[in-house]
């Protein structure tokens, strides 16, 4: 019973990076989640403006920006306030840093520290196939991820407590599954 109560009171954490791949669709998913905190990379802050989504986020969502050298907000993970981390959409830059254990900014620190706090992670990397179509602020463009980008995604799949999703549909499904799991603790 005590465990149920603890999970019920915990929150979602979502990391937004500077990847435009399903960026707008990710914002829609974020808006549909209750009890969520957003951690945004410096690039994501710019991309939010470019995709005209800066004012699309409800005021109730707490946004943590990357404005400290030591990523002060990651302390929240050590207070055990999150049950789930979502990294979506994730740029090739952040994926590369994550798989090599680098934590030198807010996005990569959230991934590293939440992992060290045993928080379950749903991870949507942008480079999911050798050929992709993605939405830029000025329309759709073709993208051809490099071998290194695809190899890094394979490495990511080996991380503990990390579910890698390779499409927006899969991301949506994993979030729904997690919401169903959470319902077991609401009474
Ligand atoms: C409009 C826009 C869209 C972008 N989309 C992507 C993308 O889909 N994938 C990617 O790897 N980088 C993309 N970038 C480049 C990243 O923002 C850039 O690599 C940045 O350094 C990533 O920083 P972060 O990983 O700290 O968020 C995009 C940049 C812009 C301006």
Helix (H), strand (E), coil (C) string for 5-48: HHHHCCEEEEEECCCCCCHHHHHHHHHCCCCEEEEECHHHHHHH
- Return the pLDDT at 187: 63
Provide the angle, in degrees to the nearest 10, between the axes of the packed helices 147-156 and 92-99: 50
Chosen CATH of 2-183 out of 3.40.50.720, 3.40.50.1950, 1.10.10.60, 3.20.20.70: 3.40.50.1950
Determine which residue's CA is closest to atom 19 belonging to ligand 1: 93
CA 143-22-184 angle, to 5 degrees, is 140
Pairing of strands 132-136, 139-143: antiparallel
Mutate to test the pocket of ligand 1, among 16, 18, 20, 133 (most ligand atoms within 8 A of CB): 18
Q: How many CB atoms lie within 10 A of CB 118?
A: 10
pLDDT at residue 7, rounded to an integer: 87
- pLDDT, position 1: 57
pLDDT at 120: 98
Peptide bond into 156 cis (omega under 30): no
Write down the pLDDT at residue 101: 98
Pocket test residue of 14, 16, 17, 19 for ligand 1, highest count of atoms within 8 A of CB = 19
The set of protein residues with a Cβ atom below 6 angstroms from ligand 1 is 17-21, 41, 43-44, 47, 50, 91-94, 105, 107, 126, 134, 136-137
Closest ligand 1 atom to 92 CA: 11
**Which pLDDT does position 186 carry in this prediction?**
77
Contact (Cβ atoms closer than 8 angstroms) between residue 21 and residue 132:
yes
Per-block average pLDDT, block size 10, for the chain (187 residues)? 76 98 96 96 97 91 97 96 98 98 98 98 97 96 98 98 98 97 85
Give the closest residue to 164 by CA, choosing from 132, 108, 125, 127: 125
Nearest CA to ligand 1 atom 2: 20
Spatial contact of 17 and 42, defined as CB atoms under 8 Å apart: no
């Amino acid at each position: 019973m005590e465990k149920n109560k603890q999970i019920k009171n915990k929150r979602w954490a979502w990391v937004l990076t500077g990847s435009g791949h399903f960026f707008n669709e990710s914002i829609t998913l974020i808006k549909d989640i209750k009890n969520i905190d957003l951690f945004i990379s410096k690039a994501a802050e710019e991309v939010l403006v470019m995709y005209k989504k800066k004012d699309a986020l409800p005021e109730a969502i707490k946004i943590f920006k990357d404005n400290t050298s030591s990523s002060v907000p990651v302390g929240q993970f050590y207070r055990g306030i999150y049950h789930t981390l979502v990294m979506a959409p994730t740029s090739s830059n952040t994926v590369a840093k994550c798989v090599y254990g680098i934590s030198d900014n807010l996005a990569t620190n959230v991934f590293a520290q939440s992992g060290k706090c045993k928080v379950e992670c749903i991870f949507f990397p942008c480079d999911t196939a050798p050929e992709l179509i993605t939405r830029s602020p000025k329309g759709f463009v073709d993208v051809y991820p490099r071998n290194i980008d695809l190899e890094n995604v394979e490495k990511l799949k080996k991380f503990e407590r990390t579910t890698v999703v390779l499409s927006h549909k899969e991301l949506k499904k994993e979030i729904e599954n997690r919401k169903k799991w959470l319902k077991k603790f609401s009474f």
